Structure 1
Amino acid sequence: MLSGVITLLVTSCSAPKNITYFKDVPDTIRQKGIQQAAYATPLIQADDILQITIQTLDPTATSMLNQSGASVPVAGGTAAAPVATSVSGYLVDKDGYVVLPLIGKITVQGKTTDSVREEIKTIAATYYKDPVVNVRFANFKITVLGEVNKPSTYVMPNEKVTLLDALGAAGDLTIYGKRENILLIRDNNGKKEFVRLNLNESNIFSSPYFFLRQGDVVYVEPNKSKVSSTDLSQVKRISIMASVLSLLIVVVSRINF
């Protein structure tokens, strides 16, 4: 009885309070305008995988160009199926190049997919009439860890990915996720950049970190309620082990007597 009362007191004292997103948005019909952060198109880096297609009026003429390069293993899978998988595309080598059939060797590192598309289109136009070129990331991956329902590495379907997109792919935060202190880890020119974000406030939409970059890691810290429940479980296990040990000592002492 006493242990039940203690359990109730511990869990009620540690009940999460900040579980609502964007709490500062008024609960009325009045609209609140929020300036969204400017989106910066990501730049292609070494080891990226690009999906490049060239289409013309004669599909057979460009069939060799659209072999999609090599199949490259990628950890994590897709947002719909977070498992290990592989993607097909052209791997950017250490020097920042990709090699396309007929088109040849092209420098892509430090460029956007839009600029690479125009460059390839210009070259392809010398061989084909009115070619249509598409260039996109095939391995735009984001890792979501911690108190989410499906922690994993996700290959996103496009390059314009927000923090909410990543959390949605991971099945949203659990009730134990610390919404006011989301940690974003980003590689920035060879250094690790650590940023804290607050989902309780609507100004997160104007944060320069609202749009994610390739390779970002999002970590959701557990709140006090989760820590308390974990500690309580450990106390219960220790109590059970102590009771069993005490019982064994009594039994052994009586047998020896």
Structure 2
Amino acid sequence: MKNLYFALLLSQILLSCSPQRNLVYFSNLSELTNSQIKNQAELKLQKNDQLSISLSSLNVEYDALFVSANNNNAINGRLGFRVNNNGKITLPRIGDIMVEGLSIEEAQGLITKELKKQIKEPVVVAQLINFKITVIGEVNRPASINVPGDEINLLEALGMAGDMTVYGKRENVLVIREDKGVRNMVRLNLNDKSIYESPYFQLKQNDIIYVEPDKAKEKEFSPNNRALPIITACISAVAVLATALIR
């Protein structure tokens, strides 16, 4: 009987034990410090990006022409100029302007420069309106997210997806990025403060973030492990019955 109790106790211990995991972000951050971190992943315009470009100048008629020229390409009610397969956008009376590889500010400056050749005192505001990222895996709300501005980092993206579940591997988050037709995959450790130095911490349009489940979830949802509680319950029942009969 002692052997039976020992086996039962051992099985309970084995079932309850699981590897300890670090669920704390930046757990190796010993103290709070002030530091300046350069953005190593400044957003650059790519093919098929859609730019919202608003114009204000002393030439009201030209402003109206500029606004109406691409109404058919509007996204979410905002005027849109698509970056074509040649990396250019087409503006009224100006024609094609190469913007691929430029930042939003650089494209805005270039457009302003070209407009000054046509009108006086143009004020141009450009914004990327189809900036989208996708967060999947062990997060509470997996989704494709439309970014309202032109800047978002990995932590913000996870926050918009409801944060990781307790099963998400914080030390092994996969970021998938396509750049100039080349797909790159990088794994990041959110337990390590050095993640701020990664060019993949600041996200770019169409990035995919995949949070991998840990082994605890794999075991929990394994067909074999789902039978273990039943087996344990049966052993417990047999032990209780045997004790009652002996008494």
Tell me what 1:66 maps to: 67
Report what 1:220 is aligned to: 211
**Misfit runs of 4+, over 6 Å:** none
User: Structure 1 length normalisation: TM-score?
Assistant: 0.74
Q: Give, in whole Å, the separation in 2 of the partners of 1:232 and 1:7.
A: 18
2:137 aligned with 1:107, yes or no?
no
What letter corresponds to residue 213 of structure 1 in structure 2? K
Where do residues 92-241 of structure 1 align in structure 2 (5 Å cutoff)?
A: 92-231=83-222, 235-236=226-227
The Cα of 1:142 is off from its aligned counterpart by 1.0
Please give the secondary structure, in 1, of the residue aligned with 2:201: coil
Contiguous gaps of at least 5 residues in structure 1: 74-84, 240-257
Q: Provide the alpha-carbon RMSD of the alignment.
A: 3.2
Contact 2:151 2:202 in 1 (8 A): yes
Contact 1:184–1:195 (8 Å) recurs in 2: yes
Give the fraction of aligned pairs with identical amino acids, expressed as a percent: 36
Q: Indicate how the Cα distance of structure 1 residues 117 and 18 shifts in structure 2: closer, same or farther if over 3 A, else same.
A: same
User: Contact (CA 8 Å) 1:185, 1:192: kept in 2 or not?
Assistant: yes
Q: Which runs of 5+ in 2 are unaligned?
A: 1-6, 231-247
Separation of aligned partners in 2, 1:201 and 1:111: 31
Alpha carbons of structure 1 residues 189 and 92: separation in structure 2 relative to 1, 3 Å = closer
Matched residues, number: 223
In the aligned structure 2, how far is the partner of 1:9 from the partner of 1:88?
61
Q: Would you say the 8 A contact 2:67–2:79 is kept in 1?
A: no
Match of 1:18 among 18, 22, 27: 22
Q: Out of 52-61 and 205-214, give the one that drifted further.
A: 52-61
- 1:9 and 1:34 map into 2 onto residues whose CA distance is 45
Read off the aligned partner of 1:138 and give its amino acid letter.
I
Higher share in helix: 2
Contact 2:53 2:124 survives alignment (8 Å): yes
Alignment partners' CA distance in 2, 1:234 and 1:59? 72
